[in-house]
Structure 1
Amino acid sequence: MNATDGNGNEAIDVAAEPADRRDPRVAVLTLGGTIAMTADPSTGAVRPALSARQLLDTVPGLTALGVSLRVRDIRNLPGASLSLADLDGLHTAIEAESADGADGVVVVQGTDTIEETAFYLDLLHRSDIPVVVTGALRNPTQPGPDGPANLYAAVVAASSARLRGAGCVVVLGDEIHAARTVTKAHSTSPAAFTSPGSGPLGLVAEGRVWSHHGLPYRTSARLTGDVVRDGVRVLLHTVTLGDDGLALELLLDGAADRCHGLVVAGFGVGHVPEAAVAPLERLAARIPVVLTSRTGAGPVLAATYGFPGSERDLLSRGLIRGGDLTPYKARLLLHRLLATRCQLPEITAAFEAVGRRG
């Protein structure tokens, strides 16, 4: 029989373990996404509708794991509609579950923004308990929905002592990926999530975690302080062939006062067209500007190329080297640093430390 705790969360009783061993306790927090979608009878289009409890009811084999689950609905939105405020609220809920004795937390959401959610949570998460983010590429109305299998694997991962200290990880397709490295590399494939350059941390098989290598390098130790500045806005500019710098000039002329930071996704190891150099230098004199690579894997270099618009040239003009962070993750780190009122030297030092990956 299921019961409800004092906070209104539903506790699900499952098969008991021997009396001398406490069952692992895992909190399942849902935000919506494809995994929770059902079809509109009139149009056939799908949208988030299922609750956390309804999702868990679709997962075979959970009771055999001997894990005590507590479920809580946080939001029910498509992944694309989540905000940083939603994630701050989610982090608060994770902290509450940790303080209440949870051994791990599963976060369920849409895959559109999983890599960003996982990285943002990893920046904030201080506890040793694992936070496991999962979702689905196929909604429950499609043949072969992957949601139940992903939820099962996520619960296994969240309850595993092997992942204590791993921070936030992403689990889909039975693979475990570090928040630091994971990316969504395909729009529809159930095997969409990869970790370029490093591969997954491990996998889930036969109800247990199998590790491929050690725990990931964590970024959270590099950040301190609570959010004290609301309304921070960090923009992202992706450089393209033939970019004449006009978009950057428009930002300088019309919107720079409403922008607190900028991330540039440059070519290759951190290059931009020569026409973009002058406006970037002017922007870097006003706000922090972080240089990243649009390739999705590999680092921005520091001292190899020397032409106008090269990485060496841009760094000499005040841009901040983003290391091997993707543009999306660099944006989240810069946002958090600005929200905690870090100044330029602190921001530069944080990116240098994080970008080294150890």
Structure 2
Amino acid sequence: MRVALFALGGTISVTGGEPRLTGEQIVAAVPGLERVGARIDVQDAEAVPSSGLTFVKVLEVVDAASRAVADGATGAVVLQGTDTLEETAFLADLVWPHPQPLVLTGAMRNASLAGADGAANVLAAVRVACAPEARGLGALVVFNDQVHAARWVRKTHSTSTATFVSPNTGPLGHVVEDRVRVLAAPPRLDPLPYRPTPAQLAATRVGVYTAVLDEEDTVVDDAARGCQGLVVAGFGAGHVAGALAPRLGALTDRIPVVLTSRTGSGSVLRATYRSPGSESDLLSRGLIDAGMLDPWKARVLLRLLLAGGAGRDEIAAAFSRWG
């Protein structure tokens, strides 16, 4: 067995001083990794905090992992910072074409701290990358010995080593000693047929407007200015103040506007509430239902679609499938 491992920096590479750990150094410090029985091919992609990652860099790493799998690797592992892990994992999942798993992980406590979790997460991630049970599940986030679908996982705590959870579904499985136990395997969606160029991505901006109590309705215009798309993080099941609804409806004549919930779990509704600013009112004005996708994942999907040249009907169909 062979696993391709890509190191992107983040807390897992931090020692409390400088320089950062390389991928080889991280792998060398994992107790018991040799017992997995896999050769680990390590590549240092770019050592940056995950807040410094870009769509272009993430897609470059996904392409490199794809080539490694096509060349015979059993699976691939990406090490990165946790701040944007839920977004990069979903971006990877949208385009990953292989049955072999692409596993993302990192650490919440760096190697200089008591209870550092990086080594355990790397060991679990490599086990999942090698596991037949993980085939056909797309991109996965493995953290704290839990296996999460990239589509549903969220970072929910600023410091806890149990920060990654899947509020709507729970984890797909667990790593128990040397076993990968997958308890739920959702149907695998086909990857998107859009692979925008760096120039196309650079030319595509998607704004996010978060509904808050008692705010000027003109703020949504600021959020959408200069953007090719907008994600609305609405109250509850997809609601905004009634005065804002006409502005959002007018925006849909110019750009796609996607409706999500700011709550962190659950779905946008479609036809339960009917007052101005309710989900049914907004959808009737042309907003696109994001289903169960949170605002951050909705932004990833919308930007990839727009940069790839998708039209409004294709965008609505994609959100119907992925949300």
Q: TM-score range by the shorter chain?
A: over 0.9
Instruction: Please tell me whether the aligned partners of residues 265 and 294 of structure 2 are also in contact (alpha carbons under 8 angstroms).
Output: yes
Please give the per-residue CA displacement for 1:277-303, whole angstroms capped at 9, x wherever unaligned: 122112111000000000111110111
Hey, what does 1:18 align to over in structure 2? none
Unaligned runs of 5+ in 2: none
Question: What is the SS of the residue equivalent to 2:15?
Answer: strand
Hey, what does 1:239 align to over in structure 2? 211
Q: Report the number of matched residues.
A: 320
Hey, what does 1:210 align to over in structure 2? 181
Please give the per-residue CA displacement for 1:59-89, whole angstroms capped at 9, x wherever unaligned: 0001111111110011101111111111111
Instruction: Please tell me whether the aligned partners of residues 180 and 217 of structure 1 are also in contact (alpha carbons under 8 angstroms).
Output: no
Hey, what does 1:99 align to over in structure 2? 70
What root-mean-square deviation, in Å, do the aligned CA atoms of Structure 1 and Structure 2 show? 1.3
Report the CA distance between 1:251 and its aligned residue.
4.7
- The one of 116, 133, 142 equivalent to 1:145 is 116
Q: Would you say 1:260 and 2:232 are equivalent positions?
A: no
* Alignment map for 1:183-332 (pairs within 5 Å): 183-213=154-184, 215-219=185-189, 221=190, 223-228=192-197, 229-230=200-201, 231-251=203-223, 255=225, 258-332=226-300
Find runs of 4+ consecutive structure 1 residues off by over 4 angstroms.
none
* Distance change in 2, residues 1:61/1:250 (3 Å): closer
Q: Would you say 1:350 and 2:310 are equivalent positions?
A: no
Unaligned runs of 5+ in 1: 1-23, 41-46
- Larger RCO (CA under 8 A, 6+ residues apart): 2
Tell me how far apart the structure 2 counterparts of residues 222 and 351 of structure 1 sit (CA, whole Å). 13
Question: What is the SS of the residue equivalent to 2:8?
Answer: strand
Hey, what does 2:3 align to over in structure 1? 26
Report the CA distance between 1:49 and its aligned residue.
1.0
Hey, what does 2:152 align to over in structure 1? 181
* Distance change in 2, residues 1:345/1:171 (3 Å): same
User: What TM-score do you get using the length of structure 2 for normalisation?
Assistant: 0.96
Tell me how far apart the structure 2 counterparts of residues 218 and 48 of structure 1 sit (CA, whole Å). 40
Instruction: Please tell me whether the aligned partners of residues 124 and 142 of structure 2 are also in contact (alpha carbons under 8 angstroms).
Output: yes
Hey, what does 1:36 align to over in structure 2? 13
Tell me how far apart the structure 2 counterparts of residues 339 and 218 of structure 1 sit (CA, whole Å). 23
Please give the per-residue CA displacement for 1:14-45, whole angstroms capped at 9, x wherever unaligned: xxxxxxxxxx21111111100101223xxxxx
Question: What is the SS of the residue equivalent to 1:75?
Answer: coil
Report the CA distance between 1:48 and its aligned residue.
7.1
Question: What is the SS of the residue equivalent to 2:58?
Answer: helix
Question: What is the SS of the residue equivalent to 1:218?
Answer: coil
Report the CA distance between 1:345 and its aligned residue.
1.0
Instruction: Please tell me whether the aligned partners of residues 38 and 49 of structure 1 are also in contact (alpha carbons under 8 angstroms).
Output: yes
* Distance change in 2, residues 1:48/1:348 (3 Å): farther
Percentage of identical aligned residues: 48
